[in-house]
Amino acid sequence: MDNLLWLIPGFPLVGFLILTLAGKNMSRLARGLTGAGSICLSAIVVLIVGWNFLINPPAAGNYTQTLWTWFEIANFKPTITLYLDGLSLVFVFVITFIAALIHIYSIAFMAEEADDARFFASMNLFVFCMLILVLASNLLLLYLGWEGVGLCSYLLIGFWYQKSENGYAARKAFIITRVGDTAMAIGLFILVYQFGTLDIVAISHSAPEMWQAGSKIATLCALLLLAGGLGKSAQLPLQTWLPDAMAGPSPVSALIHAATMVTAGVYLIARMHVIFQLSPVTQMIIAIIGAATLIIAGLSAIVQYDIKRVLAYSTMSQIGYMFLALGVGAWSAAVFHFMIHAFFKALLFLAAGAIIEALHHEHNMFKMGGLKKSLPVIFWTFLIGSASLAALPLITAGFYSKDQILWYSWASDGGSPLLWFTALLGAFITAAYTTRMMLITFWGEAKTHLGMRPGKLMTIPLLILAVFSLVAGFIELPHNFGHVQLFSEITEKVLPGTNIRAAVSGEFIYQIIAVLTTLAGIYTAYILYYRKPMIIINLKHSKSALGLYQFLLSGWRFDKLYDTVFVRPIVYLANLNKDDVIDKFYQGITWLTGRAYRALSFTQSGSLRWYVMGLLIGAIFILTIQIIL
């Protein structure tokens, strides 16, 4: 079965190559079919391989396929090896499955677009890179996929490059993630230096023997890898690119937020959990960063008026949950939340894309309204997605995944009441902004004339995702409520289990609290934005509230902070050095040469006698030197 492994990234790569090389000469239909078909084939291969993996678990616990040796330098010999275990399987499944649905949706979404060959080619490359990232058996190959993902995000965010803001957003995403990537590269260098290899399994085996828990080198490595993860996953303090990344087409946003790119950080930390376990400090930092991000992003989401920005901030916030889970040692819960989040976030983005398309590219929620009647399919699927995001109890998948995280943030080894409370507050905020988004978008009166309605090609992926957003949670139920553990059975073979502090009990009570918090959030938003909207309107008159509103709207002014702290000083220095200080010296030489040339050019009089005189003087000069010396 493991011989099929290469087909998983192979199909998207072939699709990318065909679209790049021959895309211009193909019909629109052929381009769409190639783009979506390659991912669909890949998804089918994943299903076959995954089915086999689950039915007949391999003895070693993984499938490994070595394709070829990448290069050889002394003892350092990275190979192109694909490696599939429970963790990668989850990621590969989510990536291919959701990407396939997004691609199918894109055929309809990009139907009017002129340059759809470039779009599908970039999307295929994006998926290919992400698959390489999660299937890589060594960190170097992982890094290849990692950078490839960065490149593709640049290409896709700046897809509509004719508008300069989009190009700016693309550059911003690329540069800010590059900060993290650089740190990660340094981390990889240290790992090579220490272990002489980048093979993940080898490192995981030898790290606990070589490094003591809590040692400096382990912490350093973990922090550097974490920085890479923070950049890609848009966590504090490298989160500012994500809201601007909405400049790309909606399917791109869906792909970035659900299946690829932002989850790379989660994958990296889960994959390298051995190193992170050796550094409790880093674990704590991860948890704190996750908690801080989920609050900051949540509060920002609550005031946004651009529907895609609300979703972008919610992604940051949800990834914050994943990081929180990773930080407290709930590895499995983080990956589970990743999967559920991928389903409902892809659904939400695709639905939002459909709405935006239907309303003549209107992003502002306050100009939407009343879509409940006019777009029923979108309404219901969006409702399901939102419910899952808000973690509506019992029926939605989001509830089960988030509840786990909430519980572990209290109960696990690394957990603490403060983290739990933060997560709870995040849950409240999440429920509130989700409800607000629903109410503003779908209720009320219609404010914009409806354009085209989404066709079947768009709605069917939405329906499939909606179903998954509801039922995917049932494969992992809390042990006091159904106790199904299909999911953690897969991942626990790879990831360590979560240690529960001995002193805590009463999971049921915490679940009730979580449920009540969510409901309270929904109810609050319902009151504020539907029943008594006057409260908000009145608030807008007060100056401090308006200031707070502006503050949150700009994403806690992080852009401004970075602008002041990093961009401006560098621009100032660059301005100082605009004429290149060091160049002055060379310019001086040029100037001197020019002067000397002018001074000497009169000797080129064309008079033969002068030239002979020159010879004569030269001879005298040389003889004089000889006489003197």
Partner 1 sequence: MNSLIPIDMVILLAAILFVMGIAGVVIRKNIIFMLLSVEIMLNASALAFIAAGAKWGQPEGQVMFIFILVMAAAEVSIGLALILQIYHQHKSLDIDILKEMKG
Partner 2 sequence: MEVGFYITAGVTIISTLLVITRHNPVHALLYLIISLLSLAIIFFLLGAPFAALLEVIIYAGAIMVLFIFVVMLLNLGQQTAQQEKAWLKGKVWIGPAILSTILFGQLFYLLPVAQMQAEMPAVDAKVVAISLFKHYVIGVEMAAMLLMAGVVGAAHIGQHKKVVLHRFLREGEEQL
Give the interface with partner 1 as residue ranges (CB under 8 A).
Answer: 601, 604-609, 612-613, 616
Any contact of residue 625 with partner 2 (CB under 8 A)?
A: no
The residue (of 536 and 613) whose beta carbon lies closer to partner 2 is 613
Report the alpha-carbon distance of residue 271 to residue 248 in Å, rounded.
Answer: 29
Give least dist CB 613 to partner 2, A.
7
Among 574, 608, 627, 629, binds partner 2 (CB under 8 A): 627
Closest CA to 368 of 455, 459, 438, 453: 438
The residue (of 54 and 612) whose beta carbon lies closer to partner 1 is 612
Closest CA to 461 of 25, 14, 40: 40
Give least dist CB 623 to partner 1, A.
11
Give least dist CB 72 to partner 2, A.
56
Report the alpha-carbon distance of residue 149 to residue 133 in Å, rounded.
Answer: 8
The residue (of 565 and 613) whose beta carbon lies closer to partner 2 is 613
The residue (of 502 and 608) whose beta carbon lies closer to partner 1 is 608
The residue (of 451 and 594) whose beta carbon lies closer to partner 1 is 594
378 and 354 Cβ atoms separated by less than 8 Å: yes
Residue 608 contact among partner 1, partner 2, none, beta carbon within 5 to 8 Å by kind: partner 1
Among 114, 602, 626, 629, binds partner 2 (CB under 8 A): 626
Report the alpha-carbon distance of residue 512 to residue 520 in Å, rounded.
Answer: 12
DSSP secondary structure, 494-518, as one string:
TSPPPPBPTT---HHHHHHHHHHHH
Residue 601 contact among partner 2, partner 1, none, beta carbon within 5 to 8 Å by kind: partner 1
Give least dist CB 607 to partner 1, A.
6
440 and 399 Cβ atoms separated by less than 8 Å: no
Which run of H or E residues covers position 64?
strand 63-69
The residue (of 56 and 604) whose beta carbon lies closer to partner 1 is 604
Local structure of 401: helix, strand or coil: helix
Closest CA to 325 of 389, 235, 417, 404: 404
Question: Cα dist. 177→28, 83, 244, 327, 344 in Å?
Answer: 33, 26, 13, 21, 25
Give least dist CB 629 to partner 1, A.
21
The residue (of 505 and 624) whose beta carbon lies closer to partner 2 is 624
What Rg, from alpha-carbon coordinates, does the chain have? Answer: 29
The residue (of 60 and 616) whose beta carbon lies closer to partner 2 is 616
Site string for partner 2, 473-502 (x = CB under 8 A): ------------------------------
Closest CA to 498 of 214, 339, 277: 277
The residue (of 452 and 616) whose beta carbon lies closer to partner 2 is 616
- Which positions ≥6 away from 420 have C-beta within 8 Å? 406, 409, 410, 510
Residue 625 contact among partner 2, partner 1, none, beta carbon within 5 to 8 Å by kind: none
Give least dist CB 626 to partner 1, A.
15
Give least dist CB 189 to partner 1, A.
58
Report the alpha-carbon distance of residue 382 to residue 123 in Å, rounded.
Answer: 24
Local structure of 73: helix, strand or coil: strand
Residue with tokens 């003197």: 628
Give least dist CB 572 to partner 2, A.
58
Residue 605 contact among partner 2, partner 1, none, beta carbon within 5 to 8 Å by kind: partner 1
Residue 620 contact among partner 2, partner 1, none, beta carbon within 5 to 8 Å by kind: partner 2
Residue 624 contact among partner 2, partner 1, none, beta carbon within 5 to 8 Å by kind: partner 2
Q: Footprint of partner 2 on residues 561-620 (CB under 8 A)? A: 613, 616-617, 619-620
Give least dist CB 623 to partner 2, A.
4
Burial classification of residue 599, based on how many CB atoms lie within 10 Å of its CB (0-12 exposed, 13-18 middle, 19 or more buried): exposed
Interacting residues with partner 2 (CB under 8 A)? 613, 616-617, 619-620, 623-624, 626-627
